[in-house]
Amino acid sequence: MTTNPEFERQLLLECPPARLSSATAVLGTVFAFCYFLDDYRFGSISSAAALGLFWLITLLWGARQSLDSIVDEYRDRTWDTQRLSALDPWQMAWGKLLGSTSMVWYCAGFCLLVYTLAAGQSTDLLRFYFYAIAGGLLVQSAALLLGLLAVGRGQTKTGSILLPALIGFAVVAPQLGDLSEIAGLGSAGFRWQPWYGWQFAQQDFHRFSLLCAVFWCMVANYRLLAQALGLRKPPTAWLGFIVFLVVYLGGLIPSGNFALAMAGFGVCGGLTYLSVVAEPQQPMQIKRLLDYYRQHNWRRVIEEFPLSWLSFALAVPFALYLSANRAHIAWFELSLHSYPLAALLLILRDCAIYVYFCYGKNPQRALNLSLLAAVLLYGVLPGLFGALGLSGLSALFFPLWADSASGAVLYAVLQCAAVLRLLYRRWQNAIC
Amino acid sequence: MITVDDLIFEYPGVRALDRASFTIPQGRIAALVGPNGAGKTTLMRCMAALEQPVSGRVEIGGIDVLEQPRACHRIIGYLSDFFGLYQRLTVRQCLHYVARAQGIAAADCAAAIADVSHGLQIKDRLDQYPSALSRGLRQRVAIAQAIIHKPAVVLLDEPASGLDPEARHQLAELFLQLQRQGMTLMVSSHILAELEAYSTDMLVLRQGRIVEHAVINAPALRKPFRLVLAGAYPQLAETLQKLQGVELVRTDQDRMAIVNLENDGDRQHQVLKALLDTGMPVCEFGPATVNLQDAYLQTLHKQP
């Protein structure tokens, strides 16, 4: 059949003849009903039903399927069998992604066929197919990524993994626009997208961005699977992703000289938060890293280097550059400043708080406790002291309230020192 | 075939493996024994490159497991204490998938499945689902998965737990059959009586340390002999150590000794003659059966 046993296995599980025929019968009945409602033709009702079903099938069902393709292995304790196989990470990544969603794509193909029959002549079908398929692949690939990250942290409840992702998607999706509108855009809807002074057709730019998103999602899946299979690699993919994001977003920021530096600081800072939460935080990992360092085993040091540390280290030069060039902006006419160095130290503090909770007795609650700490440190305490007219104390908890950059840095350093000291003690207790 | 050197593995606050070191030659069946929490499963998982130790070295068939985990996976078979079977696939489909995933060509899969299912006596179960099988049969399917690619080394973690005596006996027969095929096996278990039926080596793991590596049923040219004297002979150990071809295992109160001798009648006769010539009051001299349970308990009692 194929050269990919994982794809074959998934196909065997997902597409038995009975399922194929029952899915065909259900969809056939639904679209036959729409056909009758549309006065014996495929019209607007059929088109809307096909589009709605397509999204439901590819996004909800597809995301669930690709997530389960990895979480089920862990839950059924077959993951070790796969880790001990001769499959390479790439085979496993596409085998799981396309195999687990094979039934999904069969049903989605049915919907696309009806939509094609029902679409008006003004519809750019090729563009529609591109957005529909690439969008579906992106969401499913992201779900697989989420599953890999979840099992790395020992989470195996699909609902608890998928629910926050779906809520996030529900919030973001309306901003992305209606697919049928995108497909219906003719020359009247043509817009330019500026990027580093160049002008690109907005639709081309969107298409390129979507492809890049799918590409990086698959790269992330590949790297996480490689890690699970015991293949150690230096963090070149992560570096590549950071560079890509900095360059990509830098071109979209219309703020002249500091665009790249601001994008760099924002990307590295954001990815520091993301990676510290995504990576498993285990005290032994740091001990092992320090052992490799003492042994001058540099290759291992590079391979084991936490991505959050790398992202943070890369944020430092951007913060220094922005600080040196006084690129701070007052927001909303409040005395809240974007002092880059102080902001960088706050990132360090927040990550240290999260890791501190991870090293505790109940690491599953680390994220919730960190969010609670953030609400206290960023909102409740500064707000309380601010309301009492003690703005100096407000700035102590939220240094960006400070009137001067040096004051902000000083307060942030004090906070970092306190949190890092607590973290160090907890780490020592954990490894001894 | 298997070399583990100074292996250290730590969980937060616990050193699960503490400089574990041993060597198992090819074609042996090593029993890994130890109390609960001694680190048996952790050691097995480190050897299968499923866990990353803090330091140390594991070499299997000349491959550095920690450096080349994927190369190692091709030459080992691993049976975990939970079997890891796909419940939604039939036994045949499970075996076909694992065979393909282990790099066996699609055209050769049927032969590999027939071969392994014949050896494990599960030929008539190939079209059943694992959930419909008894524990003993599920375990056979899991072993079939572990050995379908004919690995040089098979690691089995608690393979006999929950099996009835008949199934355990069949399992012992199976391990001996795999050994005859040239495979090296490492089996962890609590049931020492069952290990005795097939083990050639015993590794005792306690608090993460290998505290004893005893050769039980050496298939090589040497064989354990028991020497009993009519009365105490203070120079017993010293005399035995001086005799050529005699490997002293242990003495007991200068009246009894276990020695390893060449498995050759003439040589054994010469040793006995030499012992009598020294004036030793020999009253019993014959092959000794080393009881695994006794050896294990003795080892544990020796340890502080």
Residue of chain B minimizing CA distance to A299: B67
pLDDT tens readout for residues B27-43: 899 999 888 888 899 99
In the predicted structure, residue A327 carries a pLDDT above the cut 90:
no
Average of per-residue pLDDT across B62-67:
89
- Say which of A77, A80, A431 has its CB closest to residue B13: A431
The amino acid that residue B267 corresponds to is R
Instruction: Give me A395's structure tokens.
Output: 């700035």
Of A326, A350, A372, which residue is a domain's last?
Answer: A326
My answer on whether A338 and A418 are in the same domain is yes
What is residue A332's predicted lDDT score, i.e. its pLDDT?
46
My answer on whether A292 and A372 are in the same domain is no
**Cβ contact B209:B20 at 8 Å:** yes
Average of per-residue pLDDT across A53-63:
90
pLDDT tens readout for residues A2-24: 689 999 999 999 999 999 999 99
The domain total for chain A is: 2
Of A277, A309, A326, which residue is a domain's last?
Answer: A326
Residue of chain B minimizing CA distance to A429: B13
Q: Chain-centre distance of CA B69, in angstroms?
A: 22
For residue B69, give how far its alpha carbon lies from the nearest alpha carbon of chain A (Å): 6
**Is A126 domain-assigned?**
yes
Q: Which domain holds residue A272?
A: 232-326
Question: Taking Cα atoms as reference points, which of B221, B231, B225 lies closest to residue B257?
Answer: B225
Average of per-residue pLDDT across A53-64:
90
Residues, chain A, total?
Answer: 432
My answer on whether A12 and A94 are in the same domain is yes
**Is A190 domain-assigned?**
no
Q: How many CB atoms lie within 10 A of CB A79?
A: 18
My answer on whether A202 and A268 are in the same domain is no
Question: Taking Cα atoms as reference points, which of A317, A332, A312, A322 lies closest to residue A405?
Answer: A322
**Half-sphere exposure at residue B261, Cβ-oriented, CA atoms within 13 angstroms:** 22
Interface test with A, best of B14, B41, B54, B70 (most A CBs within 10 A): B70
My answer on whether A307 and A411 are in the same domain is no
Of A282, A300, A326, which residue is a domain's last?
Answer: A326
What is residue A39's predicted lDDT score, i.e. its pLDDT?
85
In the predicted structure, residue B246 carries a pLDDT above the cut 90:
no
Number of cross-chain residue pairs from A and B with Cβ atoms under 8 Å apart: 82
My answer on whether A373 and A238 are in the same domain is no
Question: Which residue, chain included where needed, has tokens 């606050």?
Answer: B13
**Model confidence, pTM:** 0.82
What is residue B286's predicted lDDT score, i.e. its pLDDT?
87
pLDDT tens readout for residues A261-307: 888 999 999 999 999 998 888 888 898 899 889 989 898 899 989 99
Contacts of B103 in chain A (CB under 8 A): 86
Residue of chain B minimizing CA distance to A91: B101
What is residue B298's predicted lDDT score, i.e. its pLDDT?
56
A196 vs A240, residue with greater confidence: A240
A interface with B, Cβ–Cβ < 8 A, is: 1, 5-6, 8-9, 12-13, 76-87, 229-231, 282-284, 287-288, 291, 359, 429-432
Terminus-to-terminus CA distance in chain B, angstroms? 31
**Cβ contact B157:B188 at 8 Å:** yes
Question: Taking Cα atoms as reference points, which of A13, A207, A34, A16 lies closest to residue A113?
Answer: A34
Percentage with pLDDT > 90 across chain A: 44
Determine the Cα–Cα distance for residues A131 and A41; give it in Å rounded to an integer.
Answer: 26
Least confident of B7-21, B88-102, B244-258, B287-301: B287-301
**Cβ contact A110:A132 at 8 Å:** no
**Is A119 domain-assigned?**
yes
Q: Residues near A75 by Cβ (< 8 Å), separated by ≥ 6?
A: A156
Q: Residues near A45 by Cβ (< 8 Å), separated by ≥ 6?
A: A34, A37, A38
Average of per-residue pLDDT across A81-94:
91
Question: Taking Cα atoms as reference points, which of A48, A126, A63 lies closest to residue A97?
Answer: A63
Q: Phi-psi category of A115—alpha, beta or left, where left has phi over 0 and alpha has psi -120 to 50?
A: alpha
pLDDT tens readout for residues B182-228: 899 999 987 777 777 788 888 988 888 988 887 775 555 567 788 89
**Is A110 domain-assigned?**
yes
**Helix (H) / strand (E) containing A80:** helix A79-83
Determine the Cα–Cα distance for residues B177 and B171; give it in Å rounded to an integer.
Answer: 10
Question: Which residue, chain included where needed, has tokens 């070149």?
Answer: A236
What is residue A138's predicted lDDT score, i.e. its pLDDT?
92
Instruction: Give me B129's structure tokens.
Output: 């689902």
**Is A71 domain-assigned?**
yes
**Is A189 domain-assigned?**
no
A315 vs B254, residue with greater confidence: A315
Q: Chain-centre distance of CA A163, in angstroms?
A: 14
What is residue A407's predicted lDDT score, i.e. its pLDDT?
85
Question: Which residue, chain included where needed, has tokens 């550095």?
Answer: B64
My answer on whether A48 and A81 are in the same domain is yes
pLDDT tens readout for residues A146-202: 999 888 877 777 776 777 677 766 666 655 555 555 555 445 566 788 888 888 888
SS (H, E, C) A150-162: HHHCCCCCHHHHH
The amino acid that residue B22 corresponds to is F
My answer on whether A246 and A368 are in the same domain is no
My answer on whether A236 and A349 are in the same domain is no
My answer on whether A319 and A415 are in the same domain is no
Instruction: Give me B113's structure tokens.
Output: 């499945």
In the predicted structure, residue A358 carries a pLDDT above the cut 50:
yes
**What is the DSSP track for B16-42?**
EEEEEEEEE-TT-EEEEE--TTSSHHH
My answer on whether A80 and A209 are in the same domain is yes
Determine the Cα–Cα distance for residues A179 and B112; give it in Å rounded to an integer.
Answer: 50
**Cβ contact B199:B217 at 8 Å:** yes
For residue A230, give how far its alpha carbon lies from the nearest alpha carbon of chain B (Å): 6
**Cβ contact B273:B186 at 8 Å:** no
My answer on whether A298 and A241 are in the same domain is yes
